[in-house]
Structure formats: structure tokens, C-alpha cells
Amino acid sequence: MNKNQINQQLFQLLEAGVTPFHVVSYVEEKLLGAGYQSLKMTESWKLQKGGTYYVKHNDSSLFAFRIGEKVTENSMIKMAAAHTDHPCLHIKPAPEVNGAGYAQVNVEVYGGPILNTWLDRPLSVAGRIAIREKGSRQPKVELFDAKKHILTIPNLAIHMNRDVNKGVELNRQTDLLPILGMVKESLEEDNFFLSYLAKELDVAMEDILDYELFIYNPEKPEFVGLEEELISSPRLDDLTSVCALVQGLLDGSDKESISLIALFNHEEIGSKTKQGADSMVLNHLIDKMQIALGRTEEQRIMGLYNGTLLSVDVAHAMHPNKQAKTDITNKPLLNGGMVIKEACVQSYATDCEAVGIVASLCLDNNISYQKFVNRSDERGGGTLGSLASSMSPVKTIDIGVPMLAMHSARECMGAEDELALYQLLCAYFS
């Protein structure tokens, strides 16, 4: 795949992947199209050499793997992980708020968004909804996407806050309630949101048992710059990585190893959930896979220690207007290639042997890369690599594309860097 092709793949995922559920559903379609077979953690597996499989967990995490045609009981497991969620707003139960004539919905903050970037934009709603199935304890769970600009959170006019440009602290309960319209008879006063959902889903309002609905930015990805050197889009964190992992797995050709991608939910809220990277799910999946391949208990432990994990998540590029926020000798730039992230406190999984493996891959395949470390007086972020590798103790390294405005409702990356990341994943899985 060339630059245009991989960026096109990325744009499709950015538009479709508006919630973790939609990311998983999009990836599932792609894998099915490529002949991958669905497996369940609750069933016994029979795996074939050369076979390709995927497992969904809680509809919002997904694992896919290919068993190379020539794997033996000692073959290694090559893994790469990314996350399906992004910081945003989440709709609470009993959401209707009558704001003195304005129909509003009650929301809470998911993860760490830059809150004021969510103001003054047309917004939409998506997620999944549990619908009662009469006579069954198991509800029907449906994906939902309003696909319309149904909400907005207006700023207060500058005339009512003359200090607005000195910075505004937004109250998470009172300042972020989006407006859905005006309360009138057509928006029945007490349940205007639930009745809207019921109508959209064509079910009775009382049959909506629960939902996980997020407010998302429906704006499309766009190229920016005199020569379209940049990409501006919602959800670059971490769909850039999801795109590279999926495409890298599909285009990789390793016959001697097991190639596996893990797309986890809940990175933005710490990963410590049943479908997060800091859970047993990856470990159990690897175990099930090795059992199905007939490995003994000792071979399974050997297989795990023989593995490698690329933890793929976005990295901070140096900001031109705030250069002093970046380390004094490591200054990643947009379009400078993918980034290897290091931190001695292991907020980014770091060991020089693992970094050496990735750096060699880059050098052998002409893939440009740069390094990121935090300034010593900045705490910086973390990601799922160290957490996942504390559950599955494999050699781990943190990488990703460089970007600006991380966790904004619209983030910014270089138009060259997705290709570098994709090429690395292809090389890793080949």
C-alpha cells in the first residue's frame, strides 16, 4: 500500500469508528472480508496452521491472529496492541434536562478530553443499546449511530465573560450539558431523549433497558497545508494505530510465527477493566490459542516469554508555539516518521533490546523513525504497553505516529506518518 492508499484506509476508519463498538464492528467486517473466522472465548477452539481468526470481547475489544503455515511448538508470538476508545462525553441514565425551555442531556466526561474543544461544534451520538427481549433474560444489544448533528454545547458570549481569553475552567457537571433542541410538545417534556431513541430503534420506550452512548465529533478528516502535508481529524488517537495494525496483519506474510493484534477498549480510563489491556483477557487468549495448537504447559510458558509486543499509540510531536514543552534533545516532528517512546519510569514500556528490534526493522526496511521522551520536569502520559506486559511478560516497546493537540476534539498529524507506521507493522508481521 502506498501513502494515498493507507491514508484512504485511515480516513474510512476515522469516519466509521465513532465509538469503540463501531471500531470493532468496522474491523470485524474487514476481517470477515479477508476470510478470518470468528471464535469465542467461551468455546473450545480447533486451530489450523495457516488459519486466520478473531475474537471479540464485550463488543468493544477485538483480537485477531494468523497462525503461520510453518509454526512449530516453539514458534514465537508476535503481538501488537492499540486502543479503540477516545476521550469524549458519555450520556448518563435518565438523561433529560429541561434547561428553562432548552432540551438538554446530562453527560459525564469519559477519559481526558480538552473540554473546551467540544464547544461550538455540531455533535452526534452513538454507542450501543440493550433492548428487552420478552421472555428472555438476554437483552438484544444493538449498535446505534444518530448520524446527524443533533447536539451542540455553545460557549458563553465574550460579553458575558470578558476574561474568557485568560482561560476558562469548565465545570464538568454544569458547563457541558449539550442542547438537543427546545422543549415543546413534539419533544415530550419528560422523556424527549428516550422517546427519540425508541423511535429511531422502532421499539417501545420501556423496552430500552440500558445504553452506553457517547457524544462524538461527526466532522470528517481533512488534509490541511499548502501541499496537504497535515491531516486534521477527530479520533486520530488511537485509530491511526488500529488502522496500521489491521492492515499490517492483513498484508503481513510471516509463515513461521503467530501474528496477533489486540485492540483494547478503556485505555483512556486506565485499562483496568475486563476488556482493557490491564486484564487477563490477552493472557487467556494466548493460552487458549497455544492449548488449541497442542502445546504442553511448559511450551506455553516458553511461548509467552518468547513473544514480543508492540504497544501502538500516538506520540507528542513538538508544538511550534510551545517548543519548550518538548525535551531538549528529542524533538519529534510531524512527517518525521513513526515515534519510539521511551520513559525510564516505564510509563512507556522501554528496554533497549526491544527498541533495538524495532529500530533494526526500520533500518532494514527504510522506514523513518524518531524518539520521544518526556521533558524531565513534565509527567507526560502513559499507555497500555506496560500494563499489558505486566499481565503477559513479553518484550514490549511503545511506538506510534507523532501528533499535535492530543485529546482535542480535532487532532493533527502528518500525512506521511501513517505510511511509516503501516510499513513497520507489515515488516514486523512478515
CB nearer Zn ion, residue 254 or residue 398: 398
**Is the preceding omega at residue 85 within 30 degrees of 0, hence cis?**
no
CB nearer Zn ion, residue 212 or residue 313: 313
Report the nearest approach of Zn ion to the CB of residue 83 (Å): 6
CB nearer Zn ion, residue 59 or residue 411: 411
Report the nearest approach of Zn ion to the CB of residue 337 (Å): 19
Report the nearest approach of Zn ion to the CB of residue 237 (Å): 4
Report the nearest approach of Zn ion to the CB of residue 184 (Å): 41
Report the nearest approach of Zn ion to the CB of residue 7 (Å): 19
Residues that bind Zn ion in the complex, under the rule CB under 5 A: 237-238, 313
Report the nearest approach of Zn ion to the CB of residue 314 (Å): 5
Report the nearest approach of Zn ion to the CB of residue 182 (Å): 37
Report the nearest approach of Zn ion to the CB of residue 366 (Å): 27
Report the nearest approach of Zn ion to the CB of residue 143 (Å): 22
CB nearer Zn ion, residue 237 or residue 416: 237
Residue 45 falls in which region: left (phi positive, over 0), alpha (psi -120 to 50) or beta? beta
CB nearer Zn ion, residue 59 or residue 237: 237
What is the rounded distance in angstroms from the CA atom of residue 373 to the CA atom of residue 315? 10
CB nearer Zn ion, residue 237 or residue 417: 237
What is the rounded distance in angstroms from the CA atom of residue 153 to the CA atom of residue 104? 10
Report the nearest approach of Zn ion to the CB of residue 264 (Å): 10
CB nearer Zn ion, residue 15 or residue 398: 398
In this structure, are residues 422 and 247 in contact, taking their beta carbons and an 8 Å threshold? yes
Residue 100 falls in which region: left (phi positive, over 0), alpha (psi -120 to 50) or beta? left
CB nearer Zn ion, residue 104 or residue 408: 408
Question: What's the chain look like in SS3?
Answer: CCHHHHHHHHHHHHHHCCCHHHHHHHHHHHHHHCCCEEECCCCCCCCCCCCEEEEEECCCEEEEEEECCCCCCCCCEEEEEEECCCCEEEEEEEEEEEECCEEEEEEEEECCCCHHHHCCCCEEEEEEEEECCCCCCCCEEEEEECCCCCEECCCCCHHHCCCHHHCCCCCCCCCCCCEEEECCCCCCCCCHHHHHHHHHHCCCHHHEEEEEEEEECCCCCEEECCCCCEEEECCHHHHHHHHHHHHHHHHCCCCCCEEEEEEECCHHHCCCCCCCCCCCHHHHHHHHHHHHCCCCHHHHHHHHHCCEEEEECCEECCCHHHHHHCCCCCCCCCCCCEEEECCCCCCCCCCHHHHHHHHHHHHHCCCCEEEECCCCCCCCCCCHHHHHHHHCCCEEEEEECEEECCCCCCEEEECCHHHHHHHHHHHHCC
CB nearer Zn ion, residue 212 or residue 237: 237
CB nearer Zn ion, residue 313 or residue 418: 313
